[in-house]
Structures are given as structure tokens and as C-alpha cells.
Amino acid sequence: MLNPQERVVMISGANRGIGLAIARCLYDKGYSLSLGARDMSTLDPVVRSLEDDRVLTHRYDAQDADNNAAWIDATVERFGRIDALVNNAGRADHLNIEDDDEALLDELLEVNTKAPMRMIRLALPHLRRSGAGRIINVISLSGKRVANDGTGYAISKFAMMAVNHAARRAAWKEGVRSTALCPSYVATDMTDGVEDVARDDMIQPEDLAELAAVAIALPNNATVAEILVNCRFEPLL
């Protein structure tokens, strides 16, 4: 297993839900963190009890390429390295196949696919230098099958699965490993409106965080391409 005390992890959408759970989990294990969120004020409660020398916060805007590059640069300036990138930030707007709203589809693709792909591209030179760089793409089981009318969301997540596997190939020889973390319903604010699965029966974000931590800590010769996590039985998953 890799030594957390020597590693720096970037996490987008670290202010709530799965991203926050991953941030807390990795911090407790000894990692240094660079945490990104669109609303910086929401990160204040997160970092209040953490050691300043191990945590950097930075605004992350998925639709602003200059902002993404600035976050990478700020992380390297502060810590001198990047060892792992967790692409967690995303949106889940409902868009059916019969809905005539291509602007919303473009936004879903921008936030859920293009932005994390951009972050991977920007981080790869630093992940290569790490020798054991890790990428965790928080995707969804909606990137593996279509189970409801959320067509636009599924399209963006299927596309992100392609990005994940492209990232696995991109710098394999330099020790970079990419893992897709694909949960079904998770007990976060994103699933507040879900009625067909009870809240207590949903996946807990803290459990997903432990899986992400394992994927980050595994050595180069024990990589996991996809982690599918369900809270209910599905024949194909």
C-alpha cells in the first residue's frame, strides 16, 4: 500500500455528499488535500477543524477552463506535487430522450464529462511524475445501464466511462491508474427527491469514501478499473 503521508489528493465537489466524505476519509488517513467547490464559502465548515498545512481550498468551476488550470497550478505551488485526482463534482438534471432541450444536454456534458476530462488532462503531467498517480472518477451506475428516463444524465455518464478507460491507457507505463467509482442511490442531497428507495437503504457516502481510499492506496500492480456499488438487486449488476 502507498504511504498517505507523502501524497497529495485533489477532490472536486468536496463541500458536500460523496466528495465531502472522501475528503474526510482521506484526511483521517493522513493525506494532504486540495479541495475544490464552486461556492468557496461552503468549504469553510469543512476545513475549520483541519490542519491548515495539509489542506488547500480553491474555487472549482466546471465550465471555466482557466479556473481549472488555476486550481492545478495553485495545488502544485502549495504542495509541490499531485498524486491523485478525484473527479467528483457533477449535476443530475432530468432530461428525457423526448425532451427538446439540447442546451441542458450540453450543460450536462460540460459538467459531467468535459470538465473531468479536462482536469485529467491538466493533472496528468504531475500524476506521471508521481510514479503512482491515481484518478478516481465518481461516475454512477447510470454510466453502465439506463434504468430510468434520465437520458441526458446517462449519456454524460456513459461518456465519462469512456474517459475513465482512456485515462487508464494514457499513462499506464508511468504508473498512473484510473478507477471508475459507480454507485447507485447514495444518501446525499442529490437523492432527496427519490421515493422508490428508502433513505436508510441507500448507500452511505462514507462507505464509498472507503472504496475510493482503497483504490488510491493500492500499489501499481493491483489496480481496479471499475467499482460497481449497488444498494438493491439488479440482474445485470
DSSP readout, 30-43?
T-EEEEEESSGGGG
Largest CA distance in the chain: 50
What cell numbers appear for 201 in the block?
437503504
Within-domain flag for 235 = no
- What is the reported pLDDT for 196? 82
The active-site residue, picked from 27, 31, 153, 185, is 153
pLDDT tens per residue across span 139-177: 999 999 998 889 999 999 999 999 999 999 999 999 999
Q: Whole-angstrom Cα distance, residue 125 to residue 231?
A: 37
* 114 lies in some domain: yes
Residue 99 lies in a domain: yes
Q: What is the CATH number of the domain that holds 99?
A: 3.40.50.720
Could you tell me the three cell numbers for 113? 464529462
pLDDT at 72: 98
Active site residue 153: yes
pLDDT at 197: 84
Question: Residue 4 pLDDT more than 80?
Answer: yes
Residue 234 resides in a domain? no
Residue 145 lies in a domain: yes
Residue 10 three-state SS: strand
Does pLDDT of 237 surpass 90? Answer: no
Q: Which helix (H) or strand (E) holds 19?
A: helix 17-28
Is residue 237 a part of any domain in this protein? no
* Nearby residues of 150 by Cβ (< 8 Å), 6 or more positions away: 92, 94, 95, 96, 142
The percentage of the chain sitting over the pLDDT mark of 70, rounded to a whole number, equals 100
CB-based contact 188:16 (threshold 8 Å): yes
* Residue 155 forms part of a structural domain: yes
Output the CA–CA distances (angstroms, integers) from residue 118 to 65, 78, 79, 129, in the order listed. Answer: 8, 21, 21, 18
Contact assessment for residue 133 and residue 127, using Cβ atoms and an 8 Å cutoff: yes
pLDDT band of 31, cuts 50, 70, 90: very high
Read off the pLDDT of residues 38-79 as tens digits, 9 standing for 90 and up.
999 999 888 887 877 899 999 999 999 999 999 999 999 999
Identify the domain containing residue 214 by its residue range.
Answer: 4-229
Looking at residue 44, its pLDDT comes to 87
170-202 pLDDT tens trace? 999 999 999 999 999 999 877 777 778 888 889
Number of domains composing the chain: 1
